[in-house]
Amino acid sequence: MDTLARRVAISAGVIIIAAITLAFVLFFVSGRQTLSNTTTEDTRRIIAYSITYGPDGIANVTLSYVKADSVQTNSTDSEVHFLDPFGKSMSSVEQQLSTANDGPDPNGLLTDKQKQDLIRNADAYEQYALIRLPAELVVASQNNANAFRAYSILDPESHCLLRYISNHDLNNNETEYLLQDICHSDVFRVSDGYSCFGHIAGGTNPVVSGYNGLPRMRVSIDNQGYIVAEKPDGQPSGDGTVGEGRFISPQEIQENNDPSCNQYLRYAR
């Protein structure tokens, strides 16, 4: 009986030690994944870039992860530029971050010249903008991922880069929040990327015929408060295709209460 009890006690001890070991391994791996900036191959933290110029005219590039609560709202200054986390330019950066031993620091990881070359050599197809929607367009809390939108800023028709603007419509006392193509004056509302006015909205370019919106990148917020990008699906009716566009269904358009397209729709009637 004593022998049986001793065996049971030993077995229980082995199970407890194994459980503790497993918990430690899972904790270490989970922490490593958080530090490596990659939870899965389909989700990555957004790395924003900003450019300033010194007295010598040389561009200084700063790279940083994006905290949700650090992005401004109700201002076109809230636009954050970043390169496609899954694109060719960022692939080497992501690889280096995944093997960093002293914690990920995208800005300290590269030399000044490497950061300059990264932005200078990036393809226009990799350029994205992260926007925090103004409070009047957000149903959920401002700290919720629903408050953010990320779009390709390559105009599908002209292939010029878009810029974030706001206009006040005096006739209706409404503020319009738009992404504008400075080459052809095409405009897209920021709430869903829908084309309010221009070649895509008018269907005058057969190359992008059938599309009516900007390609997007879905985002979420991780447990440390950073904005995480989800790999686009490349489907016309899903996240769309960069350089071509995205199809937004009539139902989605109708259910959107963003008034930013109103004055353009009046002109079209």
- As for how many domains the chain has, the answer is 2
Range of the domain at 10: 2-35
In this structure, are residues 238 and 213 in contact, taking their beta carbons and an 8 Å threshold? Answer: no
pTM: 0.79
Same domain for 258 and 131: yes
Q: E-strand spans in 3-102?
A: 38-40, 43-45, 47-53, 59-65, 80-83
**Residue 45 domain-assigned (yes or no):** no
Q: What is the pLDDT along the chain (269 residues), one digit of tens a residue?
A: 455 555 545 555 545 555 545 444 343 344 433 444 444 689 999 999 999 988 877 789 999 999 998 887 655 566 899 999 999 999 888 888 877 655 568 898 899 999 999 999 999 999 999 999 887 777 655 568 989 999 999 999 889 999 998 876 656 667 788 999 988 888 999 999 999 888 776 655 555 567 889 999 999 999 999 999 999 999 999 999 999 999 999 888 888 878 888 776 554 44
Q: What is the DSSP string of 221-267?
A: E-TTSBEEEE-----TTTT-BTTTBB---HHHHHH---GGGHHHHHH
Same domain for 128 and 15: no
CATH number (domain holding residue 130): 2.102.10.10
